[in-house]
Amino acid sequence: MTDTRFHEMPDGRRIAFRHTKPTHASSGPTLVFLPGYMSDMAGGKASAIFERAKAKGRGCLLLDYSGCGESSGDFADGTLSHWRDEVLSLIDAQTHGPVLVTGSSMGGWLMLLVGEALKERLAGIIGIASAPDFIRWGYSEEQRAQLAAGEVVLEHNPYGPEPTPTHPGFFADAEDLYRLTQKIAIDAPVRLIHGQCDEDVPWEISLKLAAALRSDDVQVTLVKDGDHRLSRSTDITGLLGLVDSFY
Distance CA 13, CA 8 (A): 6
- Residue 1's pLDDT band (boundaries 50, 70, 90)? very low
5-8, strands of its sheet edge to edge: 5-8, 14-20, 60-63, 30-34, 99-104, 122-128, 190-195, 218-223
Which structural domain, as residue segments, surrounds residue 187?
A: 5-244
- Residue 24's pLDDT band (boundaries 50, 70, 90)? confident
Catalytically annotated residue among 71, 105, 130, 206:
105
- Residue 162's pLDDT band (boundaries 50, 70, 90)? confident
For residues 121 and 97, is the Cβ–Cβ distance under 8 A? yes
Per-residue confidence (pLDDT) for residue 26, from 0 to 100: 81
CA distances from 224 to 8, 220, 228, 229, 230 (A): 42, 13, 12, 13, 11
For residues 98 and 30, is the Cβ–Cβ distance under 8 A? yes
Q: Is 85 a catalytic residue?
A: no
Number of H helices, E strands in the chain: 8, 10
17, 69, 18: which is closest to 39 by C-alpha? 69
- Looking at the structure of the chain, the number of domains it has is 1
Rg (CA), the chain: 17
For residues 16 and 4, is the Cβ–Cβ distance under 8 A? yes
Q: Is 228 a catalytic residue?
A: yes
Q: Is 105 a catalytic residue?
A: yes
**Is residue 175 exposed (0-12), middle (13-18) or buried (19+ Cβ within 10 Å)?**
middle
Whichever domain contains 190, its CATH number is 3.40.50.1820
Catalytically annotated residue among 85, 198, 206, 235:
198
Catalytically annotated residue among 82, 167, 194, 228:
228
- Residue 2's pLDDT band (boundaries 50, 70, 90)? low
Report whether pLDDT(71) > 60: yes
109, 128, 103, 80: which is closest to 228 by C-alpha? 128
- Measured from the Cβ of residue 58, the count of other Cβ atoms closer than 10 Å reads 24
